[in-house]
Chain A
Amino acid sequence: MDRLKDNYSTLNDLELHEKKVSGELNYLKEQYLQSNYLDFYKLYKSDNIANAFYRMCEIIPINKSEDDFVYFFDYIFALDYIRGYRYGNITPNYKIILENGISSLFYVEEDSRFCKDYNRILQGLIVLSKRIYNQTDSIQKEWFRRIINEPAEHFDEALQRILFVNQVLWQTDHFLVGLGSLDDLLIKYYEKDIKSGYMLKNQLKEKLKKFLLQIHNYYWFKSGMLMGDTGQIIVLGKTDELNNYKYNELTIMLIELIKELQLPDPKILLRVNENTPNEVLSLALDTIGTGVGSPILSNDKVVIPKLIKFGINKLDALDYGVSACWEPLISGKSVSLNNMTTLNFMRPLENLFRREKLSNVKSFNDLVEKYLIYLKRNLNAVKRVVKSADFQYDPILSVFIDKCRERKIDVSQGGADYFDAGITSVALGNVVNSLLIIKELIYEKKLYSLTDVKKIVLTDYKNYEDLEKLLKDKKSKYGTMDTECIELTKKILYYVTENTKDFRTEYGGKLKYGLSAPTYIDAAKTAFASIDGRRYGDPFIVHISNETADNYMEILQFASSLDYGDNRFNGNVIDIMVNPYFIKHYKNKLIEMLKVGIDLGFFQLQMNVVSSEILIRAKDMPEMYPNLIVRVWGFSAYFNDLPIEYKNLLIKRAIQNERYMS
């Protein structure tokens, strides 16, 4: 039994959450027994997806909440039959449904299979709206009457429509559904309602709060691999063409609400540039300082030019949002899958030690050249994985993505404006550190040989325990302004670009990559030891980070010195640990530091505001800290929900950080 638990982390999750959701599960049990689930299952296994969707809309039980908004999700009728590579990590274009009634989207002539299916989906949506209309009353009834024929008029109505689209996408097996730039999207309804006296500011804020709480619903089920990995990210702030910083009342209001609610989900990404006023940064830091984990900062000054250079239309680039964590994505226009696979920089180094005749490697430069050759082979494998992805035919998503309607092409066949492929990367820091340590130990001090390193790597420091301790104590060079380190890092980065820039997917999408990845623990579980003091299975360096540096400037300068041009912009997050004491006492100085960092040109930045003391206590006594939130990968999660290795890593990093900062 115990072994089973170890093996199967999702089971673990289930057991952990059984108590929490027991009510929900009982409901499920009843539903399962009563429903005509099996008929439905047969239908969507055998029939067209559009028909299955229509059928689902007809029979799905409607679960009205007591609250204002209607937002429900049904596990049993989830449309989860896999027909190919699933779409996720994307943000639909909510505008389509805000500015149109559903019925105005119909094709007049059904002259292709896509048009037919598209109309069928719309019919399904109308059936669902009508059913909700029949079962609700008062204002809700009005909303679902209007959604069929008329555009949204009021703020709360707009929120309801966003929830509706969001719900439909989750229900139909799209994962990590983003929320997009809500401040920009909703401001016109907000201002209109204030002006016309439809509602007072406070009432609207209350509505917005209820909306966020609704989005937080089904947190458990929406989560992917890890609890909290729901991809529900709200993008705030904007840069206009003249490089001014644009934000509005809703921007502030949303950040304030996130601060007030103290929930890990939904989370926010705040776009900043060199003109971002202190007021906004200060509020952002206050929010981060409460430990809620967001917002993550994304630096428009760097991101936008890189997007434009990559070939994205300037207006679209100015409007960018992000996929679930941080990968820039043009909300509503792009179906780029930004996290298709992970490039593990450590693999080529492992392979080098396994496959190479080490007596042939004569110098450090030789070693680096050899490493690059192995990297190229690894990239071949990555490219094949990306290329072999066969996307599922998805008329449901096509309804909510720009241009698919005009082009009459499904998203899976290139109907959207952008359909590039993105990969993330992990362990570059460990590789750079390893190579530099090899240089020092073998080629400069001549204390060891490459064969020794091979033995260390393959046998996990057997007979070299002393050396392991010494290497663990060593300061990491990755993430410092050390010239060797920067040169080596750049060399590897450019090499990857060189070998991926000509890659095209089936419909002509390009390949992009970035330096942050969620897999720093999972990819490392089966990775051999590395000479930077990392043992078999230990986690890799988290995104762009360096806990051994005694200041944050170094990592900011390092990240700013890298070139994120060409195809290297797929998320490059600096991850720093900050002691709560620090934010409390030196907020103004941190703001100054951030402003300089923005000016220098870091790409993105996220902070974990935790003290090791509290984390350790929370690990020992989870029941005492039910609401402790931390940031992992690119999202916030409850500390108690995390697997043990994530907890340990966070504690380790917090301790390291505090040691050097004191």
Chain B
Amino acid sequence: MCWFYKRITIKIYIKSKARGYKSFYNSVCDFRRAERRYIKMDENNIIIKKWLENLCKRKYWSDYLAEYGYYNIAIYGAGDIGRYLELELKDTKINVVFFIDKNAEFVREIDHVPVVLIEELPLKKNLIDAIVVTIPYLDKKILTDVLCIDSDLPVMSLRDMVFEL
């Protein structure tokens, strides 16, 4: 991929030189901004693409989570991906106990599953075996947050796992 970027950079470079741009960086900055947006979109894109592939191949999250022996889980992130995950796990052996989301005060409940703030986790941690993180860019921060609350609570990232089914 980086090879590809290099080619693009060189192209931009040549073009900017050819057109007599004052600053080479202006044109590259534009490119960088677009690229960053692209990567962010791309992360979600990857999850969705691979998830769809899994579904087509009859590979389900419920079986995967059961492999670990985690039957009661919390989903971190009550956005689209989180909701779809809850939908897929509905009526399987995996029980979604609650969502964790920073907007919990506005969204109290999704599909009869309560939404809580991360601050409430210490009270509820005994109800669950693991937390599944659906936000690809936050997993490292969440990891350390949860580590402070309970050092033995597994935190799983959907982005990593979606390849492993």
The verdict on A10 contacting chain B, using a C-beta distance below 8 Å, is: yes
The verdict on A225 contacting chain B, using a C-beta distance below 8 Å, is: yes
Q: Would you call B14 and A225 a contact (CB within 8 A)?
A: no
In Å, the complex CA distance between A385 and B50 comes to 11
Interface residue ranges of A60-106 to B (CB < 8 Å):
75-76, 78, 80, 82
Given known pairs A357-B154, A384-B163, the reply for A4 and B25 (CB within 8 Å) is yes
Interface residues on B, range: 35 or more
- Contact partners of A32 in chain B: CB under 8 A: 14-15, 18
Q: Would you call B155 and A225 a contact (CB within 8 A)?
A: no
- Contact partners of B32 in chain A: CB under 8 A: 4, 7-8
The verdict on B96 contacting chain A, using a C-beta distance below 8 Å, is: no
Interface residue ranges of A456-473 to B (CB < 8 Å):
458-459
In Å, the complex CA distance between A75 and B6 comes to 12
Q: Would you call B155 and A354 a contact (CB within 8 A)?
A: yes
Q: Name which residue of chain A comes closest to B161, CB basis.
A: A377
Given known pairs A75-B10, A224-B3, A459-B147, the reply for A354 and B154 (CB within 8 Å) is yes
Q: Would you call B17 and A225 a contact (CB within 8 A)?
A: no
Q: Would you call A455 and B147 a contact (CB within 8 A)?
A: yes
Q: Would you call A356 and B154 a contact (CB within 8 A)?
A: yes
- Contact partners of A11 in chain B: CB under 8 A: 9, 28
Q: Would you call B163 and A381 a contact (CB within 8 A)?
A: yes
Per-residue interface assignment for chain A, residues 1 to 16, with 1 indicating a CB less than 8 Å from any chain B CB and 0 otherwise: 1001001101101100
Given known pairs A28-B14, A29-B17, A454-B147, the reply for A10 and B9 (CB within 8 Å) is yes
Interface residue ranges of B114-131 to A (CB < 8 Å):
129-130
Interface residue ranges of A313-359 to B (CB < 8 Å):
351, 354-359
Given known pairs A75-B10, A454-B147, the reply for A175 and B3 (CB within 8 Å) is yes
Q: Name which residue of chain A comes closest to B164, CB basis.
A: A377
- Contact partners of B151 in chain A: CB under 8 A: 451, 454-455
Dominant SS among interface residues on chain A: helix
- Contact partners of A225 in chain B: CB under 8 A: 2-3
Q: Name which residue of chain A comes closest to B129, CB basis.
A: A357
- Contact partners of B160 in chain A: CB under 8 A: 351, 381
Per-residue interface assignment for chain B, residues 1 to 23, with 1 indicating a CB less than 8 Å from any chain A CB and 0 otherwise: 01111110110011101100000
Q: Lowest 5 CB-CB distances: which A-B pairs, in order?
A: A381-B163, A377-B164, A32-B18, A10-B6, A355-B154
Seed contacts A10-B2, A458-B147; 16 additional CB < 8 Å A-B pairs: A4-B25, A4-B29, A10-B5, A10-B9, A25-B13, A32-B15, A175-B3, A351-B160, A354-B155, A354-B157, A356-B154, A359-B152, A380-B164, A380-B165, A455-B147, A458-B144
Sample 10 A-B pairs with CB under 8 A, ordered by A number: A7-B32, A10-B6, A10-B9, A11-B28, A14-B13, A76-B14, A80-B7, A225-B3, A356-B68, A459-B147
